[in-house]
Structure 1
Amino acid sequence: MAEIVIRNTNERITGEDNVRAFLNSQEVVYEHWNMEKLPADLRENFQLTDEDKNRILSIYDEEIKDLAARRGYKIWDVITLSESTPNLEELLKKFEEIHTHSEDEIRAIVGGKGIFIIKGSDEVGYFNVELEPGDVISVPENTPHFFTLMDNKKIIAVRLFIEKDGWVATPVADPQFK
């Protein structure tokens, strides 16, 4: 289950209802998928084949199509990152820059852990959303944020897009980021 850390105060928000209420107040969509549906051989496999990725998409087809219908997504894929990913550190440096997109950025975590750092309202400032399998989050368009891996450096996520080219990041220099 996702947890929130408010960066200015180190306040931690836990519990699905509390997390959902906080994220809703920041206009961030949060949902949860049933991880029981995912076979064990796909849960901790961070070197997925294209066939494995297609199996994940097939297993969560209903959930994906529901999100797509509600939010206008047109394409989706599965991404996996781990220490065996070529140029992982270089990729993470690119990910770990504050940016915005012209469409919302959504991740459905199906393996490993990840973290979004998102700029909230003026009274909240930046906050971390620590994600684990089953967590689905959508950061609103034009909201400063970045996504990275947690200490385990492993993740499997379904990504959904409106634009065929995926997200195009626009860097943001924000002196409020700590």
Structure 2
Amino acid sequence: MAEIVIRNTQERIKGEENVLAFLDKQGVLYEHWDAGKLDASLQEKFVLSDEEKQQILNTFDSEIRDLAGRRGYKTWDIIALSDATPNLEELLKKFESVHTHTEDEVRAITAGRGIFVIKGDEETGYFNVELEAGDVISVPETIPHFFTLMDNRQIVAVRLFIETEGWIAHPYEDPTFQKA
């Protein structure tokens, strides 16, 4: 279950009801899928073959198609990141700068953990959404944010897109943002 940390106060928000209410107020979609339905051999595997990626997509096919139908997503894939990922540091530098997109950024975590850092309303400021297997988040296109790995540096996620080109970031300069 996701947890939220308000960066300027270090307040921690826990519990499905509280997390849902907070993210809804910020305009961020959150839901939870049953990560336990994934084959046990894939629940802690972070280097995946194309066949294993397809197995993950097949496992969550009904959830993916339901979300895609509700939100207009047309394509999806799997991203797997770990210390075994070639050029991981370069990828993280690209991910770890505040940006926006021309469409929602959607991630359904199937294994591992990660953090979305999102710019909230004026009262809240930036907050972290700590995600684990089963958590699904959609950050709206206009909300500044970025994604990074947690200390274990391992994650597998389904990415859903409206644009067939996939992930296109637009830098967002914010002098108020401070890295943690």
TM-score by length of 1: 0.99
User: 2:168 aligns to what SS in structure 1?
Assistant: coil
Structure 1 segments unaligned to the other structure (5+ residues): none
Question: What's the counterpart of residue 89 of structure 1?
Answer: 89
CA distance in 1, matches of 2:82, 2:111: 11
Question: What's the counterpart of residue 44 of structure 2?
Answer: 44
Once the 2 structures are TM-superposed, how far is the Cα of residue 35 of structure 1 from its aligned partner?
1.3
Question: What's the counterpart of residue 160 of structure 1?
Answer: 160
Question: What's the counterpart of residue 130 of structure 1?
Answer: 130
User: 1:163 aligns to what SS in structure 2?
Assistant: coil
Question: What's the counterpart of residue 109 of structure 1?
Answer: 109
Give the alignment of 1:70-81 within 5 angstroms. 70-81=70-81
Question: Which AA in structure 1 matches 2:82?
Answer: S
User: 1:113 aligns to what SS in structure 2?
Assistant: strand
1:29 partnered with 2:29: yes
Deviation string, structure 1 residues 130-157 (Cα, Å, up to 9, x no partner): 0000000000111100001000000000
Give aligned pairs, total: 178
Contact 1:46 1:82 (8 Å CA) reproduced = yes
1:5 partnered with 2:39: no
CA distance in 2, matches of 1:78, 1:88: 16
CA distance in 2, matches of 1:28, 1:138: 6
User: 1:63 aligns to what SS in structure 2?
Assistant: helix
Deviation string, structure 1 residues 62-104 (Cα, Å, up to 9, x no partner): 0000000000000000110000001111111111000000100
Deviation string, structure 1 residues 31-60 (Cα, Å, up to 9, x no partner): 000012101101111111000000000010
User: 2:65 aligns to what SS in structure 1?
Assistant: helix
1:173 partnered with 2:173: yes
Once the 2 structures are TM-superposed, how far is the Cα of residue 168 of structure 1 from its aligned partner?
1.1
Question: Which AA in structure 2 matches 1:116?
Answer: F
CA distance in 2, matches of 1:3, 1:154: 18
1:56 partnered with 2:56: yes
Contact 1:73 1:160 (8 Å CA) reproduced = yes
Identity within the alignment, %: 69
Contact 1:102 1:167 (8 Å CA) reproduced = no
